[in-house]
Amino acid sequence: MDNQRADEIKALKKLLFSIIRNMPHDTAISIINNIVNTDNNEALNRLYLEITDAMLNTTRIVD
């Protein structure tokens, strides 16, 4: 895969994450569940894990 294509994929992942992250919690969870339950596609499953990890790592816990 060439560098431009890799950069485009990274940019799309960041865009998707930003959109999902700014939605209400229930909607974001529903979107992620739909991604993983749509197909038994390994690429989608990796994307699901990346987004889930990113959301967990950027979540601020409020006491």
Tokens of 48: 């699901």
> Within a domain: residue 44?
yes
> Within a domain: residue 40?
yes
- pLDDT of 6 reads 86
Most confident of the ranges 10-14, 39-43, 48-52: 10-14
> Rounded to whole angstroms, how far apart are CA atoms 47 and 18?
14
Percent share of the chain, pLDDT over 70 = 89
Range of the domain at 11: 3-57
> Within a domain: residue 47?
yes
Average pLDDT (43-47) is 81
Tokens of 50: 């990346």
pLDDT greater than 80 at residue 11 = yes
> Within a domain: residue 48?
yes
> Contact at 8 Å (CB) between 28 and 55?
yes
Q: What predicted TM-score, i.e. pTM, was given to this entire model?
A: 0.66
**Higher-confidence position of 54 and 36:** 54
Using left for φ > 0, alpha for ψ between -120 and 50, and beta otherwise, residue 39 falls in beta
> Within a domain: residue 36?
yes
> Within a domain: residue 62?
no
Task: Residue 55: name the closest of 22, 21, 23, 32 by CA.
Answer: 21
The total number of structural domains in the chain stands at 1
